[in-house]
Structure 1
Amino acid sequence: MERNITQQLTPATVDFDKPGKQIGVFHVPLSSHDDAWGVIPVPVAVIKNGEGPTVILEGGNHGDEYEGPITLGELIRGLDPAEVSGRLIFIPAINQPAVVAGRRVSPIDGLNLNRTFPGDPLGTTTQQIAAFVNDVLFPMGDVFVDLHSGGSSLDIIPSAVIEPGKTPEQHEANVNAALAFGAPVTVVIDNRGDPRTATASAALAGMTAIGTEMAGAGTVSIDALALCRRGVRNVLAHVGVLPGETVVAPEAPSRLYELTGKAHLIAEDDGVFEPIHKLGTEVRAGELAGRIHFLTQPGRTPIEMHYRADGIVYGRRQPGRVRPGNCCLVVASPYERKPA
């Protein structure tokens, strides 16, 4: 029932079962002050040829993360259907209103798309977009690749992300796909157990699901974009949609980490955060991590913050200005891969 409602309310201009290459949109209804029967055209593309798995590739879940949408746009334009064995479904700017605005969340309803899955076909704009992905696309898919970066508020070590699987077999498939990406660092991230993310919903639907974090800081990283370009192709070759000879081997094996319950260092004061260590630095719990300074109160002693976990500095807040509740630092701890 949900799928039928979603298809009716958000129709697509492409035929997902038609061989060849198609580039179109799906229409999310938006009845606003200046357009009573308007729609938001969200781009979607399909490349289908022969037999093989269906891979859904998503970029622009957050509108201020750019390496993924650039990479997917290049693949849409550059791939010849004859190279493909199976089907590729691209949603390169899935959160179209946020992508246009260059913001993490939608300017229409203020929602974070990656905290609204499985969505609601009768909900707000962001909830309707999530419902289209969850209700219409996920039932077609075997593999889901969700390309993120740190956005405007975080700078993160370029990495592949393992979505925890719902079964040991699915988890192993997720690990193998993420390692195939070929990033120098691969991290297990469960978003504090939040089930409302795109990859968590894809895993719940039975798909192999991985993500990325490609630098950030509100800009396009040259190195992270190069990694994203070759990493996506590596994953597509790993699952058999592109020829195996297209794989670009990494210079060194990926290091495996995870975000534990003590990974995040949260500000409790209003001020300016001074980090002590660069990204990638090995740190230990209890060690000085940074200070919060009070610029308009020069007589006030800065507040010291200390790491809560052993590992490496994985992510760092990009704006220096912080307020209570802001995530200042993220530590990734070594992850021991369990036998399948």
Structure 2
Amino acid sequence: MRMENDSLDVKDFELGEYSGKESFRLRTFDLGDGSNLSLPCGVISREEGPTVCIVGGQHGIEWNGTYISQKIFKQIDKKKVTGNLVVLPILNPLAFNQKSRVSSIDSIDLNRTYLSKNYRKPTERLGKLLFENIFSKMDYVVDVHTGGPGEYLPHAAVTNRKRISEASLILPYIYVAKNWGNTLVSSSESQGIRSILLEIGRGRNINYEYVDKTIDGLKNYLKATKLLKGSIDKRDEDVFVNKEKIGSPFSGFFKSNVELGEYIEEGEVIGIVEKILGKKEEIYSPISGRILYLRRERAVAEGESIVHIFW
């Protein structure tokens, strides 16, 4: 069943009103010209149980997250659900339609607005409404992201070490981060909502192999929350608590000497940066660890990340 376009205001969002599997446009607020900012939403609701929200598209070029979240909504059989699953595949429609990380309407990062005290700009207002009326009602939140100029080996990140075993049900590589301020995951955790962030592939692209692995992992995770019926597949985990970002020493062109997911030793050559009309310089790894982020755009500016090494 598909509800009529723009039929539900985010302030009236109540999970108890649904039974079955429905998709609709979720109204938020009116922009300066009087048009309403709305976003796609899917709900699968059946009987009493946990409430889980899967989010994609906080940043408009992170299409793996958008594709994964809408795909899992399509695949899940409502008869196997006990509880409430909310899917928001394009959380930031303004940025998505511009095919940019943030919207030019205010150039604010939506994933830095939650529980913030600033609510004047459209993106800030959107974050406030979504958190107060949807995310705060959840038991679990999974926020799916994608790299930008570089590619991430699919991995999960948590700010609460208690989530490591839960995150490993989705993806085998787990990064334990410090508090990320007003991000969705940190803000949700501060309110007692169990939260996980996923990083999948690169921006402006859909990696179908990564998509399939992540959807399989998300279904496994939903079984562990008891929202989805079925047996849980226990998985191995590789946990990292540190991340080193290697920046380019100058502007030019980067050529990688390593592969995504590779374990490298301290002192190994990561790659070469060639200065425009100038010298080449080999970049050496300052530490030993695994490469979970590798720049794919070959033109780099001084200081821009070319590799993230986790250990």
Q: What is the TM-score when the length of structure 1 is the normalising length?
A: 0.81
Go from structure 1 to structure 2 and tell me whether the alpha carbon gap of 1:89 and 1:47 turns closer, same or farther (over 3 Å shift).
Answer: same
Match of 2:44 among 39, 43, 47: 47
SS at match of 1:99: helix
Q: 1:235 — aligned with what?
A: 221
Q: 1:27 — aligned with what?
A: 27
Q: Distance in 2 between matches of 1:139 and 1:19?
A: 18
Q: 1:327 — aligned with what?
A: 305
SS at match of 1:55: strand
Displacement of 1:13 in angstroms is 6.6
Q: 2:236 — aligned with what?
A: 253
Match of 2:191 among 181, 198, 205: 205
Q: 1:155 — aligned with what?
A: 151
Q: 2:253 — aligned with what?
A: 272
In the TM superposition, what whole-angstrom CA distance separates every residue of 1:82-119 from its partner, at most 9, and x where no partner exists? Answer: 32111112111101112222222223221222222224
Displacement of 1:60 in angstroms is 0.8
The one-letter amino acid paired with 1:315 is Y
Q: 1:71 — aligned with what?
A: 68
In the TM superposition, what whole-angstrom CA distance separates every residue of 1:28-71 from its partner, at most 9, and x where no partner exists? Answer: 33534xxx211111122222221211111101112212222223
Range moving further from structure 2, 193-202 or 55-64: 193-202
Q: 2:3 — aligned with what?
A: none
Range moving further from structure 2, 276-285 or 119-128: 119-128
Q: Percent identity?
A: 21
The one-letter amino acid paired with 2:17 is K
Q: Distance in 1 between matches of 2:164 and 2:89?
A: 23
Match of 2:105 among 97, 105, 108: 108
In the TM superposition, what whole-angstrom CA distance separates every residue of 1:214-259 from its partner, at most 9, and x where no partner exists? Answer: 11153111210111221111111011000123x4x47x72322233
Q: Distance in 1 between matches of 2:34 and 2:194?
A: 38
Contact 1:119–1:128 at 8 Å: present in 2 too? no
Alignment of 1:226 onto 2:209: no
Q: Distance in 1 between matches of 2:101 and 2:12?
A: 27
Range moving further from structure 2, 96-105 or 234-243: 96-105
Q: 1:281 — aligned with what?
A: 262
Q: Distance in 2 between matches of 1:11 and 1:147?
A: 21
Contact 1:118–1:131 at 8 Å: present in 2 too? yes
Aligned-residue CA RMSD in angstroms? 2.2
Displacement of 1:186 in angstroms is 1.6
Q: Distance in 2 between matches of 1:258 and 1:41?
A: 38
Q: Distance in 1 between matches of 2:223 and 2:125?
A: 32
Match of 2:169 among 180, 196, 213: 180
Go from structure 1 to structure 2 and tell me whether the alpha carbon gap of 1:64 and 1:189 turns closer, same or farther (over 3 Å shift).
Answer: farther
Q: Which runs of 4+ in 1 moved over 6 A?
A: none
The one-letter amino acid paired with 1:158 is P
The one-letter amino acid paired with 1:325 is G
The one-letter amino acid paired with 2:222 is L
